[in-house]
Amino acid sequence: MSERIKDWRIKNWVFDASKPFDLTGKAIIVTGAGSGIGRAITLGIDAMGGNVVLADIVEEGMDEVAKELKNDYLTLKVDVTSEADVKNMVEQTLSTFDKIDGCFNAPAINFRLPFLELSADQWTKVWNVNIGGVCLCAREVGKVMVKQKYGSMVNIASFRGLVGAKEGRQSIYSASKGAVVILTKCLAAEWGEFNVRVNAIAPGMTKTPLVTQILKDDDWYNELASMHVLNRFAEPEEMVGAAIFLVSDASTFITGTTLLVDGGLTAV
């Protein structure tokens, strides 16, 4: 009988089964850490014992989040569309923590206009942040993870990257998030041999600064909320469970996956 199958009993767990979501001692980068989903993820990592590198283009938001952290952290002003900023982020992380265990690529922008009304400048800006920024961060962080032969990268996609937008005004944002979904699969395939996992989270409509325009319009909000089985938008902290799961040892055999956290929107 093969040595691989002669005994199905678990003799040595690949993680501590009593605390699979523990992040104690891990160094994790969160871009877009100053607000929205990035802020919630930052606080969640800290709550699970992790050390966070907060990266955001807006320093004020990061400083407010940092006041709530209990563990070691580093704050960096980072424009994810700047190659120099992203490289400095990686260098400063290594200088402070000597490793990168995880990375969340969270920033995004949107112009909610019908496609025929979008300017080339507007869709270029969306593309540069939503996919260009993810590519820059993934490449520079990926170099470190591949070299150290471990790491978990999580990209923030969207349900918009998986389905069309019947109500309009989402075309270029949806296209950029669809690109994040397929990039996630490709990087998982490229880096799997180096024990580097790459996954994505696809939130449903979530109460972040990105949807302020919608939150101010009751009819628009109700229309979009009704698309979800739970008939509401998510709170940012409702993305934290998925985030902790994907960056922790609880998901060591998961890579190339986009995890929908969408309140049942894509279930119907």
DSSP readout, 130-178?
IIIIHHHHHHHHHHHHHHHT-EEEEEE--GGGTS--TT-S-HHHHHHHH
Quote the CA–CA distance of 256 and 190 in Å, as a whole number. 10
The structure tokens 């989270």 sit at 201
Instruction: Report how far residue 104's alpha carbon sits from residue 154's, in angstroms, rounded to the nearest whole number.
Output: 5
Burial annotation 59-70 (CB, 10 A radius, 16+ → b, else e):
eebbeebbeebe
Query: Which residues, including other chains, have CB under 8 Å from residue 231's CB and lie 6 or more apart?
Result: 225
User: Which residue among the candidates 73, 150, 173, 221 is catalytic per the annotation?
Assistant: 173
Active site residue 73: no
- Residue 72 in tokens: 């070691």
- Per DSSP bridges, beta strands 73-77 and 196-203 are unpaired
* Range 131-144 burial, b when 16+ CB lie within 10 A, else e: bbbbbbbbebbbeb
The first and second tokens of residue 122, run together, are 């507007």
Just list the catalytic residues: 173
